[in-house]
Copies of this chain bind each other. A is one copy, B any other.
Amino acid sequence: MTRIGSCLITVTIAGGAVGLMAAASSRSADTPSTFITKIPAGYRDWKLISVAHEEANLNSFAAVLGNEAAVKAYRDGRLPFPDGAIIASLHYRFVPSEENNKAFGQAQSFVAGDPTNVQFMIKDSKAYASTGGWAFGHFNQDGTVAGEAVMKTCSPCHAKASRDSVFTKYSR
Which A residues are closer than 8 A to B by beta carbons? Answer: 9, 11, 15-16, 19-20, 44-45, 47-48, 50-56, 58, 61-63, 65, 90, 92, 94, 97, 99-100, 102-112, 115, 157, 160-162, 167-169, 171-172
Contact = CB atoms under 8 A, between A and B. Distances in A.
Given A16-B106, A20-B103, A100-B9, A115 B54 contact: no
Contact of A110 (B53, B99, B108): B53
A19 B109 CA distance: 17
A12 B170 CA distance: 27
A51 B16 contact: no
Contact of A104 (B11, B63, B94, B108): B11
A109 B53 contact: yes
A103 B167 CA distance: 10
Contacts of A102: 160
Given A44-B48, A51-B62, A102-B160, 14 more contacts: A9-B103, A15-B105, A48-B65, A48-B90, A53-B94, A53-B109, A54-B108, A54-B110, A55-B110, A63-B63, A99-B162, A100-B167, A103-B160, A103-B167
Chain copies in the assembled complex: 2
Nearest to A56: B108
A112 B51 contact: yes
Contact of A108 (B55, B107, B162, B168): B55
B172 A44 contact: yes
A48 B51 CA distance: 11
Contact of A50 (B47, B56, B106, B112): B112
A53 B61 CA distance: 9
